[in-house]
Amino acid sequence: MFSRHMSSRRVEHTVTTGGTSDAPRAPSGKKVVVVSASPRRDGNSQLLAESVVAGARAAGHDALGVNVNDTIAGLLRDCRRCRQPDGNCSIDDGYRDLMLDHVLPADALVYATPLYWYGMAAALKNFFDRMVCYVSASYPNSNDIVGALEGKRIALVVASEESYPTASAAVVAQVQEMSRYLHQQFVAVVTGVGNQRGEVRFDPSNPLDDSYELGAHIFETHHSDYTITSIRHNTVWCRPPDTPGPREPTPD
C-alpha cells in the first residue's frame, strides 16, 4: 500500500464538490484502486499515483494504492498445463487476492506506470496478462469475473523523461483497447515529465495537480466513445441559464 510521500503543495490541496470544505469527507461509497508499476518507491509515476489516491480520498472516496511489484511474482504461463484440478491458478503469489479483493470491487481503476521503451512497465503488462487466468472459461467463476470487470471507470498516469506529445501514445492506445474490450470507460490520461526520483514535482505543467484532480473527479469526468449506432446529441455541454441556446442536450 502507498506511503504518504507527497509534496507539500499536494498535502495542502483540498477539493470541493457541490459546496465548500476544508477537510476530506467521509467515504461516499465509491471505491478507487490505483495500480502502480513503478519499481522505484519514490519514483515519478509512483508520486503521480499517490496524488491520485490523495485526490480521491479528499473527495470522499474509498481509495487504495497497490504496487504490483509487491504483490505479483510470477509470469503468465500456459493455463492448460499449470491450472490446478479445481480450476484455480497455481501461481502462488498475491495476484488472486489483488484481483478478487481489490480490483473487482472497485468502481474505478487508475493505472500508473513509467514509460519504458515507449510502452508500459513489464510489471503492469504482467498484471493484464495474468488476468487471462481469471477471465478464461477454464476458471470456475469466469462469468462472474467478467461481469465484475465491466462498467468501471479507467484512467492512466504516465511518467516519462521525454515530453514530445506522442511519447506515450502506445500505452494510451493499449489501455484504450483493453478498456473497450472489457466494456469499461477510459476517461483520462495524465503525463508527467521527469527522470530522477521526484523530479516530476518540478514539471511546469503540474502533473501532480492534474493527478490529484483526476482522483477527485474521476466519476464526474466527461466520457464519450461513439459507435455508428450511438444516440448522439446536438450539444455536448449543458449551457448556463444566461447563455443563448439549448441548456440540455437534445436528440438529433
DSSP labels for 74-120?
PPP--HHHHS-TTS-----SSHHHIIIIIITT-SEEEEEEE-BTTB-
Q: Work out the pLDDT band at 19, boundaries 50, 70, 90.
A: very low
Cα(44)–Cα(113) distance, rounded to whole angstroms?
Answer: 9
What are 189's strand-pairing partners? Answer: 156
194, pLDDT greater than 90: no
Q: Is the pLDDT of residue 145 over 60?
A: yes
User: Do the strands 62-67 and 108-114 form a parallel or antiparallel pair, or are they unpaired?
Assistant: unpaired
**What's the rounded Cα separation, in Å, for the pair 88 and 27?**
33
pTM for this structure? 0.81
Q: What is the CATH number that goes with domain 8-217?
A: 3.40.50.360
Q: Does the pLDDT at position 13 exceed 80?
A: no
Question: What is the structure's pLDDT at 127?
Answer: 93
pLDDT at 161 (0 to 100): 84
**pLDDT tens digits along 54-78:** 999 999 999 999 999 998 887 777 7
Q: Please check whether residue 41 is in contact with residue 235, taking contact to mean a CB–CB distance below 8 angstroms.
A: no
Which pLDDT band, with edges at 50, 70 and 90, does 87 fall under? low
185 beta partners: 153
The whole-angstrom separation of Cα 141 and Cα 191 is 36
Q: What is d(CA 86, CA 82) in angstroms, rounded to the nearest whole number? A: 11
- Domain assignments of the chain as residue spans, ordered by start: 8-217
Q: What is the pLDDT, as a whole number, of residue 2?
A: 57
Is the model's pLDDT at 163 over the cut of 70?
yes
